[in-house]
Every structure is written in structure tokens, then in C-alpha cells.
Structure 1
């Protein structure tokens, strides 16, 4: 059985919800898989949350209390901005559940390249329904405009419908927390874990170069695993992230950010622009684990597959292993292999056979 298939089999659990016991079981299986191949992955423990719902619920409540005082929506607007630019100053109060990353290295040297993918899965929500998900970006921008204007609107008669809007949103988020299941996460992101792990196993770093594999937890609740990984990465580490690569057309992100756009920079992006097989995209739909790294100056790149501007089966119960496209997985592996070869001439045990190149740029 190929490494791709073996890793996918390991991750076939009811779910791998952020900071849950099943996320821990997935990491236990992955650690055993790597150790059986002579590697010594180190575990990086940290604490996180099991869902982003309670935080968004609290922000919605603050924004919905504008009929009492404009100070509530002022606090809500500030919290909204911080959260959706990747900052959680309240995290130390909420991050109570154990999670972890796995980090394995091959080779020695002063330069480092890390292959990264997140292990955890998210709860579903009605906005991810296949008939609604293409409007996800528009819904977010509407919420952002209303949230950031709410302190001013709280001084006008519009505070009443606006308060009702955000209180209804809080009720929907509460319903999600009480009843919504975690998805199985075949595409998001067993696909990325499988490709990153297979590429790591087949690639031999040359002398003077370190190759790393970082499998992260709690990506779905604020890229908490990536933030916990930061102190363990040498300065200037190149980070190639794989997320949602199990079906659809292959893209490389040129940057990301839901509110503030953070452009990627560095050799990985330049290599991707010269490597046929993927199209560029300015990713504004959500965030990747690369966001906190790019914000801190690390040269990063994310590979993602999209259908109609969104990842297939994104956070919906249809995100199962049965819906993965084996050819998409193999073509992603081939493209990533070509990318590494173009980047630093890393020798691989397998030939590079990426799919054909596309044209143009998209912005979901």
C-alpha cells in the first residue's frame, strides 16, 4: 500500500475535531506510522478550544447589545477585528483543552523547509451548505461591515434592527454548538496530511538542508497549532502548506486574509509561479495555517484545490473519504514534488509528473 493510502486509512475516524480525544487518536496513529519508518517525531503540546463557536457567539452578543449602550458594540467590533486578523488576546482564558503538533526532521544543515498540514476537523454550520457556501465571502463581508459600523449605528434608530440581527446570529451559533456534528474531514484535511507525509517520506534532503514535516492541531479554531509551532522553526524556514487537496482544480495561494490581506513572499511563491500545474489565487475565503507564519515574515505557500472558488464539501457532512479523487491526490503530490525540485533541487525517489498547467488567477 502506498504512503498516501496508508495515511488516509489511519485518519478514518468518526471525526478529528479540534482538541478532542479523536484528534489525539489521529496524532497517536500518525506518530506510530512515522516511528515505524525510523523517524523520531517530536510532540509539541499546547492547549486550544474545540470550536470557534463560543468566541463568535460572545462577539455576536456584544454586537447585539447596542440597544443598551454603544460600549457593547464597540467592544464587539474591536473583538471582531482582532479575531479575523488572527489575534485572540483572550486565548489564555479559553484555551483549556489539550492538543498537539507533530514535528519530524530529516537531514542536517542551516537551511530548512517544512511540509505542513493540519489534522483536525471542524463542526458544520448552515452557511457551509452546498447551496449557500458560494456566498460565504459575501456573508462575511456583510457581517464585517455591520460589525465595524455597529458602534456608530448604536447611536441611531438603526440600533434596533442591528441588535436583532446579531442576537439572532448568536442564537444560531448557540444551536450549532449544541447540535452540529464534526465532519469526517476526508478532503479537509486528511488529503493534505496524506500528501505532505508521502512527500516527506519519499524526499531525500541534500547535505546542508533540513526537511521537516509539521502536522498541526487546532487549525480550524484559529490556526492555534501553527502558532504553537512558531518557536520550533529556525529563522527563515520555508513552509509549504497543503490543505483541501483531495478534489477540484489545483491552485497555489499568493496570499490570504479575511479582513487584512497578507501577501506571501519568498522562494516558494517564485518557484510556484514557474512550475506548471497550478493556478494562482488570492485566498480571501478563510485562512490557512500559513497565516500566522506569513504575518511573522516566514516565506510560505499553500496548495489548495477549489471548485467554483471554494474547497469541495467544505465543512459539510459530505466531506468523506469516499468523495476523494485519487488522481487529484497523486497530481498534487506530483506538483509538490516538482515544486521542491524547482525550489532547491531536492532529490526525490519518484519522478515528477504534475498535471497540465492552467491559466489566470482567481480570488474566492
Structure 2
């Protein structure tokens, strides 16, 4: 059976928006497929949000109210710092929509390696337009610079243009919430789910090892599925994450972080450095599901394909299944096979 093709077929829905019924439908299809292959699957339910927009909108509003009081942009700057480092202490107020992770295991042993990929898709936004997306990182750094300066600028006449800048962002985020569609998500991340699932089904772990498959929800809204997965990972488990691997040139991330940088460590990273077929990358563009894991000491590695420094069709309506490169998928699968062999050979 062509597992890559089968999994992509199950994921081919209008979208798989975070914590939406279509995300749940995709997970149900994957669960039925895996169980049809004789693999027991555990569903790990949790609650999340359907978009990151409301949180960023509130942060932008606080920053935009600099002319009113310096206290409000101080709160906005704190919220900006927390959110873009993966911390949402307010999440218990917002996480109301049901989502789920799928978790499956093969083999016996004290050592564990988990293949990770997120099922959900994101809403689009004007910043992801192909003519603007290469400036995404620069735009983020500008926002971070202004956000962290905002409590001081609120004490100067510059509070007026600063406030207008962030209020305009809040208006754009509100427009996104009201009108922007979820993308189909062939590359992000149907490709990663297909490769992870195919690798899991086609691989028998050696003696002393367990091989896991974790298909998460709500990655696009703060890696919430990965956070819910944490209690279910065995101590010392290695985690190999696959995200946006259906087009472009293959890279392995050596670490990640939009603000604070978190280097990866462990056997997967060491194996990737010795396995031909992928280039090293310090990933600062966004976050992976591995961010909350590596923040807590889990040894991780993420694989991604890029074109011009960004994932192809990233969060744009052109991210369809029809645009996937079968050769890129098969090459990613071949690379991950070689990576796992090297990890297991090194014990």
C-alpha cells in the first residue's frame, strides 16, 4: 500500500482548522486508518482555541492604548513576550473548543522515539501573501522592538504614532477573524502527517526500543497539542517532528525560538549532523510543536522544507494538496528512514 497517498487522501478536506469539526474529522479518519492497519490508537483529548487572532488582537489593543496610560503598553509588552515564547497563562480562560491528539506505539523497550506531526491548519493573513511573506521575520522583529519600547515611548509624544500603529494592527487582526478562511494545508501539514504515518507503519523498531506516532491538534494556535502530549511521553523519549516537508529544500532545525532561542540536543540532532540529505538551520521564523517540548528538556529534532527562507505557500490559499511535490515527500521519507537507522545503530 502507498501509505503516503492514503494518508493524504484522508486529510484532503476543505480545511482542518484548529479545534474545528473538520480537524476532528481528519483525526477520526486517521485513527480508523491506523486501526485498520492493526495499530491500537489512543485519543488524548484537550481543549484549545480556533485562532490565535483574539490573543494577538488584545495584545495589540493594549499596545495601541499607549496614549491613555503607560501601564497598558507595559501589559501589552509583557503579553507579547509571553505569547511569543510559548507561554499563555491566560489560556484557561480561552481554551474552550475540543481538540485531540492521536498516540500510537510499536515495539517494546525502555528507549522511545516518537514521530510527531500536527494535523490542524491555520487561517490565512495578509502578511503571508507571496509578495510579503519573505518579510515576515523583519515585520515580527519590528513589532517586538516597538512593543518592548512602548512603555517608554508612552511617556513621549511618540505615543500617538505608536498607538495608531498598533491599533491598525488590531483592526487588521479583527478583519482576519471575521473574514479570513482556513487554508487547505497540503504542505502545512498534510505532508508531515503523511511522512510520519508512513514511516511509523513501515518501520519496526529494534530490540529495546519503542516507536511512537503522535498526531497533534492545535499546533497553529500555540502548540497546544504538544503541551497536552507532554504527560504521555516516556522519560527520555526522543521526538522527531515533521512540518512542511512537501516542497522545497530539506533542513533540520538545530533549535528554535521567535524571541528566546532554544537549542535542540540529543541523539536525533547528532544523527542529523551525520546523515546526508538535509542542511542545518537555526529556526527563528515561527514555532514548531517541539517548542514546548524542548523548553522542558525533551530531546527533539524538527525537519522542514523551505524555499527562499520560508515554507512554500505558507498559510496561503495556494497551500493545496495539488501543489505537493511527490519527490519531496519520498525524499523526506527516505531521509527519515536513514536518520532512524543511525539513531538505533548508535544505541
Deviations 1:247-295 (CA, angstroms, capped at 9, x unpaired): 0000000000000010001110000000000000000000000000000
- Structure 2 matches for 1:98-137, cutoff 5 A? 98-137=98-137
Q: Is the 8 A contact 2:249 2:306 kept in 1?
A: yes
Equivalent residue number for residue 300 of structure 2: 300
**Whole-Å Cα distance in 1 between the matches of residues 122 and 345 of structure 2?**
36
Once superposed, which parts of structure 1, at least 4 consecutive aligned residues long, lie more than 6 Å away? none
**Whole-Å Cα distance in 1 between the matches of residues 301 and 260 of structure 2?**
17
Equivalent residue number for residue 201 of structure 2: 201
Matched residue SS, 2:333: helix
Deviations 1:175-218 (CA, angstroms, capped at 9, x unpaired): 00000000000000000000000000010012221100000000
Equivalent residue number for residue 34 of structure 2: 34
Deviations 1:58-105 (CA, angstroms, capped at 9, x unpaired): 000000011110000000000000000000000000000000000000
**Whole-Å Cα distance in 1 between the matches of residues 253 and 208 of structure 2?**
28
Equivalent residue number for residue 260 of structure 1: 260
- How much has 1:235 moved relative to structure 2? 1.1
**Whole-Å Cα distance in 2 between the matches of residues 74 and 258 of structure 1?**
20
**Whole-Å Cα distance in 2 between the matches of residues 67 and 178 of structure 1?**
27
Q: Is the 8 A contact 2:47 2:99 kept in 1?
A: yes
Matched residue SS, 1:302: strand
**Whole-Å Cα distance in 2 between the matches of residues 99 and 162 of structure 1?**
37
Deviations 1:281-331 (CA, angstroms, capped at 9, x unpaired): 000000000000000011100000000000000000000000000000000
| Structure 2: gaps spanning 5 or more residues | none
- Structure 2 matches for 1:80-229, cutoff 5 A? 80-229=80-229
- How much has 1:345 moved relative to structure 2? 3.4
Matched residue SS, 1:317: coil
**Whole-Å Cα distance in 2 between the matches of residues 94 and 41 of structure 1?**
28
Matched residue SS, 1:33: helix
Matched residue SS, 1:109: coil
**Whole-Å Cα distance in 1 between the matches of residues 97 and 118 of structure 2?**
17
TM-score of the aligned structures, taking structure 2 as reference length = 0.99
Equivalent residue number for residue 318 of structure 2: 318
Matched residue SS, 1:277: coil
Equivalent residue number for residue 77 of structure 1: 77
**Whole-Å Cα distance in 2 between the matches of residues 104 and 32 of structure 1?**
12
Equivalent residue number for residue 230 of structure 2: 230
TM-score of the aligned structures, taking structure 1 as reference length = 0.94
Query: Which stretch has the larger CA shift, 323-332 or 202-211?
Result: 202-211
**Whole-Å Cα distance in 2 between the matches of residues 157 and 336 of structure 1?**
55
Matched, 1:309 2:335: no
**Whole-Å Cα distance in 2 between the matches of residues 41 and 244 of structure 1?**
24
**Whole-Å Cα distance in 1 between the matches of residues 288 and 153 of structure 2?**
33
Equivalent residue number for residue 357 of structure 1: none
| Structure 1: gaps spanning 5 or more residues | 347-364
Aligned-CA RMSD value:
0.7
Equivalent residue number for residue 340 of structure 1: 340
Matched residue SS, 2:110: strand
- How much has 1:108 moved relative to structure 2? 1.1
